[in-house]
Structures are given as C-alpha cells and as structure tokens.
Structure 1
C-alpha cells in the first residue's frame, strides 16, 4: 500500500464513530474477525462494535473529516507545541533519549550477554531524569509529550517506570516502595528483548502465529529475572503485567486476588502509556479519551485502589488547561470531577459548563 494512501487512514475512538463511515482496517476481537475492511458502518455494525467492547477503529480520513472537529478547529499552537518549545522540556527530552540509549544497551547485555542486574544503578538512571522536576503534575505533562521512534520497547519501559513512580508518589509510597516500583516498571517488558525484532517492530497487523510469539514475552521475562535472582515481586510483574482482575488477561488468565499488587499498578500505567504515547507515525490518544475508556469498563479489569487515584491525577494534571470539545467549543478546565473524571467542569466564554450534564459533549484534545 502506498504511503500517501496510508495517510488517509485515521484511528478514532469508538464514541466518535458515526453511521456512514467506512472501516479502513479489519477489526478483530482476539483472533475473531468482527468487521472486515471496507465495511460501511450501519446500525448493525455499530452494535457489533459496541457489544464487543471495541475501543478504537480505523476509518478513512475523509470520513473523519466530516465530523465537526477538523484541524481547522485547533489553534495553530497547541499546549503540546508550546510545552515542547520550552527549555525545560528540551533538557528533559535530551536526558530521556540519552537514558533510553543507555537502557537499550543495558537490557540487551542482561538478556543476551548474561550480565548481572544492578537494581540500584537502574533506579538512579530513572531518578536522575526526574530530579529537575518540581512536581509530579509537571512531570506527567512532560512525559505525555515525549516522542520516541525506533527504541519503542526501551522508551516505553522507561516511560512506564516514570509514570509508575508518579502514581506511587500519589499513593504516598515510601522511598523503598518507589524504588521497587520504578525498577519493576523498567524491567516489566524485558522478555520482549528475547522476541525476534522483526516481529516487535512489524508495522502492520500481526498474524496469529506472530501474536502467539509476542504473548510468550511475560514467561521469557519472568524466567530471565528469576535466573538473575531478582526480587520475586519484580519478576512477577514481568509475568503478570498483562493479567486483568476479571481473568481476561494473559498469559495465565489470573483473577484479581492472584495477581501481584505491583503488577496491577504497572498494568494500568502500561496501557495508559501505550495509548497516549506519541510515536513517529502515530499521535497518542487524548488523555481524557483514555480516562473515558477506563471508566467504561476499567473497574472490572483493573484494581480501583490504583485506578481511581491514577485517573484523578491525570485529570488534575490538566487543571487550568484549555481543551477542545467535539462540537468545536474551547474551554478551560477549572474543576475536576471525582465521580466522573473524564467529565470535568469547564469555563466556556465566561460561563460554567458541567460536562456531566451534557452527555453529548466530550473532550477531544488538550490545547
């Protein structure tokens, strides 16, 4: 497929899908094909997608452009663009990428050259990146705007570690707990180092055989960390970070009380990071869209004692930021909503707007 044609495909959250849009990529639930590419969304297709808990779909760009939100609605300089121009961000980004390169080498040495794991050194490398930040909310904002390219597995792991550290601070963990949590985040995907790189970096959809290979990485990571005599709780995070409290995860299908507590926390930030991360050919999903996804079905799949403070913290991060709604309206977040975090109170043209009273409106971008 030609690159120019690919650029016409847009990934949208399900709640933004409308009748008449055309599906641009096959939609699967596990190995089952739900809706083939080229299908026009009608009421029957819409019900299939919603019943199957599909989070997002790919549609053709010209279909998405028919929605009220278009690039013309968004100001020339967004919050992300303004942040990325600051000296503080540029210094953080440089340190982040330098640490990622070092981390890349270190993980490969551990996994492929049988070198020992120095947990203190790993924690210090993550701690040094955070040292210049004045508060967790500023750090959260910066992490949400980091872009990474070829080293996706390594940068993702570093990002997960930093996000886990932030959540640990919101939960008032002590320094020993923060160290354990941060290192667990750094090592949670170490099993992927032992998966063929052509599968890890494959740009298109994985075959069933390739996905089965990918799903081996929790076992591979767990065995590797056990061989290194790493704290068993860290090894269990590598094994269980794809498990869900309702038993729908992998590789074992554990339920909540059987899942390591650190793994429950890492799972939440792992998924959030993967959905909101900015890659070279993929813009991350708006954080409020991800919050809404967690609110829709997350309380069964994830432990509320970690999920609730995490979602609240994300919302607090964007207090006093300008956001864009799906009808083109812009407003300032002035009040967070603890009972429905995805629907804060806004100031719009001098008037208070309570999004809980306007279910047809959603935040689609942070400006």
Structure 2
C-alpha cells in the first residue's frame, strides 16, 4: 500500500525500491524500516513509498517505539561541553582571551559522541544539566546547529564550524551584568538595550581572540531576522550570513524548550509549530523546513500528555498537519487534527 513517509511506522516493510528526486536508490524492496531509515527518507524529501500490508489493523500497533536514552559517553561529553563554555566565560570575565584549543577540546568530543544519533528528540529530552540557562543553551545551540548543517548536506568539516559558531554564539553575554542577565521580571528598555549588546561584545571578543571573521559574524548576527525586525543592525534576507540564519533557528528552538527565570519551557512539538510560523518572515524558510522535516519523525513513539488530561503515545504524524499527530490512548486512536481544542502539553521519552 502507498503511504506518506510521515505515516510510516518502525517495522513497516518496503514493497518496492525507494528513490530520491535525482534517481538515487535509497532503500531496496524488502527493507524493514527502522527510525533511521524513516529519517533518511525525510532528509531526501521522499513523499510517498510503497509498503507491504501491515500484519494487523492499526488498533494493534505497539503502543510505543523503544526510545534510546542518552548513553554514558553522551552525557559525559555534554557535561564536559558545559564545563568548557563555563570556563570560557569565567576566563573572559577575568580579562583573559578566547583560545581555539579550549573551544575545540570541549565542543568536538561532544559532537563525536552524538554525530551518529538518529533520535535528536530523545537526546534533547535525556540531556539536561543543572547549570544555568546560558551555559546549557550554548551547548544545545552548538549541537542543534551541527545537526541542521548535516541535514542540509554540508560536509563534516563545515558542519563542525557551524556547530562551533553555535557553541560560541552567546559568548558576548560574559560582559552583561548577571543581575540583568538573570532578572526574573520584565526588562526595562535600558536593560533590554544592554542585553542586545551581547551580539556586539561577542563579535568583538571572537574577532580579537580567534581572528575568525565568520564566527564573529555569527555572534553579531544571530538575532537578525529575514524581515529586518532583528538586531543589532536590522539586516535583511541574504545580507545575513547563511551560518547566522542556521544558528538563529537553533537558538530560538533551544531557548523555547528551556526553562528560564522568566519563562517556562515549552513543549518540543509546540516550538516546532512556532518556528514554522516564524518561517513566514522572520526565519529562513528553507533552513526552518529542513529542521522541522528532520525532527518530526523523532516524535513517533513518544509519550504525550494532552490538555484535556489524557495521556497516550504518538503513533503517526499527520502529513497535512505535522503538529497534530495520531495518538494511541488505551488502544483508542485520537486524531488531533480533528480536535482543534485539544493540544499536546508535554512530551516524554
């Protein structure tokens, strides 16, 4: 039977070979699909595939797909990357300079530990630190930027540079007073203008310390928006460096899924929906679509809580509305696309 790629389930079997738009054979007939295969079909923008009839009706679909917790190496490397950015901040606050060796010794091992990871959603849910928001956010943005670059078919070398740019994007915050940076209430106009200066500080620090104009430009531009509504220079469209446009998507996603002193974390799927909205003006639409398309399959098998108090498991994504999937609740199947008043409030592994 012919199904949309976003309706595939782990364990489905291909009836025929699957090709991408340029005729490259991606998967052969007879392949039993795993999460990596489904993600790969998405990366190649395949819309429909032919699968063998499922052995049972949808009511007998296994309630949840096994999801992988972050392994010990990933957790250790993640925490080391946080310790690394913390040390960088402290060195700069004490008048020291940024050293490339310090950056790469903290960041690169973390990327090596996760670069084969196919379920980024589980990874984000598993990796968590008690360190302050700015530190964890820097590591998350570096990690997300690396994955976006890979999904855009960048080389490993270029993806590492983009990931490093994400890791350092907020380094200018070391020059913002902690009372402003961690203020629990609404910022005054003067305080907000002070916060905005972290982009200029970051540019200045990286350019002087690392002599790297590209990394410096990302620190300067990651809050610029395609429609000119960003800061500090109100750049528009392609006047914003392509790396900065990648980091902007990662930055917003990480910020919205994180708890901060003035904001509760939002659900991972809700934030993808918000990014989709922002792609019509503020964010680069191609980059945002690549990110959403590669993240969506990772939600299959995840446990969810709904706004009406019920709990269930995502078993299919909806090709016409990525953000309102099919949910299995006690062997009853709820199509959220038909329930406008019900929302997913929480996703867990």
Q: Is TM > 0.5 for Structure 1 vs Structure 2?
A: yes
Matching residue within 179, 202, 205 for 1:224: 205
Per-residue deviation, 1:110: 4.6
Matching residue within 131, 137, 155 for 2:112: 131
Per-residue deviation, 1:183: 1.0
- Would you identify which runs of 4 or more consecutive aligned residues in structure 1 move more than 6 Å? none
Report how many residues are paired. Answer: 284
Matching residue within 98, 101, 106 for 2:80: 98
Quick one: structure 1 residues 135 and 331, their matched pair in 2 at CA, closer, same or farther if it must change by over 3 Å? farther
- Name the CA distance, whole Å, in 2 between partners of 1:273 and 1:116: 24
Per-residue deviation, 1:351: 4.6
Quote the residue 2:189 is aligned against. Answer: 208
Per-residue deviation, 1:343: 1.6
Tell me, yes or no, if the aligned pair for 2:300 and 2:317 is still in contact at 8 Å: yes
Tell me, yes or no, if the aligned pair for 1:145 and 1:277 is still in contact at 8 Å: no
Tell me, yes or no, if the aligned pair for 1:123 and 1:182 is still in contact at 8 Å: no
Per-residue deviation, 1:307: 0.5
Given the alignment of the two structures, is residue 186 of structure 1 paired with residue 167 of structure 2, yes or no? yes
Per-residue deviation, 1:91: 5.4
1:87-166 matches, cutoff 5 A? 88=70, 92-110=74-92, 112-118=94-100, 122-133=103-114, 135-166=116-147
Given the alignment of the two structures, is residue 308 of structure 1 paired with residue 298 of structure 2, yes or no? no
Q: Secondary structure at the match of 2:187?
A: coil
Quote the residue 2:157 is aligned against. Answer: 176
Given the alignment of the two structures, is residue 294 of structure 1 paired with residue 275 of structure 2, yes or no? yes
Superposed CA offset, 1:218-275 (max 9, x none): 1111122222353322111111111111111111112112111111111111111111
Quick one: structure 1 residues 227 and 147, their matched pair in 2 at CA, closer, same or farther if it must change by over 3 Å? same
Tell me, yes or no, if the aligned pair for 1:277 and 1:283 is still in contact at 8 Å: yes
- Name the CA distance, whole Å, in 2 between partners of 1:247 and 1:338: 32
1:1-367 matches, cutoff 5 A? 88=70, 92-110=74-92, 112-118=94-100, 122-133=103-114, 135-278=116-259, 284-367=265-348
- Name the CA distance, whole Å, in 2 between partners of 1:144 and 1:249: 29
- Name the CA distance, whole Å, in 2 between partners of 1:212 and 1:279: 19
Per-residue deviation, 1:103: 2.2
Q: Secondary structure at the match of 1:344?
A: strand
- Name the CA distance, whole Å, in 2 between partners of 1:300 and 1:337: 24
If the length of structure 2 is used for normalisation, what is the TM-score?
Answer: 0.72
- Name the CA distance, whole Å, in 1 between partners of 2:263 and 2:189: 23
- Name the CA distance, whole Å, in 2 between partners of 1:346 and 1:306: 28
Q: Which structure 1 segments of 5+ residues have no match? A: 1-78
The Cα RMSD (Å) is: 2.9
Q: Secondary structure at the match of 2:308?
A: coil
Quote the residue 2:46 is aligned against. Answer: none
- Name the CA distance, whole Å, in 1 between partners of 2:98 and 2:197: 22
- Name the CA distance, whole Å, in 2 between partners of 1:147 and 1:336: 26
Tell me, yes or no, if the aligned pair for 2:73 and 2:113 is still in contact at 8 Å: no
Tell me, yes or no, if the aligned pair for 1:335 and 1:346 is still in contact at 8 Å: yes
Quick one: structure 1 residues 271 and 134, their matched pair in 2 at CA, closer, same or farther if it must change by over 3 Å? closer
Quote the residue 1:23 is aligned against. Answer: none
- Name the CA distance, whole Å, in 2 between partners of 1:139 and 1:104: 24
Quick one: structure 1 residues 280 and 203, their matched pair in 2 at CA, closer, same or farther if it must change by over 3 Å? closer
Tell me, yes or no, if the aligned pair for 2:314 and 2:328 is still in contact at 8 Å: yes
Q: Secondary structure at the match of 1:299?
A: coil
Superposed CA offset, 1:30-79 (max 9, x none): xxxxxxxxxxxxxxxxxxxxxxxxxxxxxxxxxxxxxxxxxxxxxxxxx9
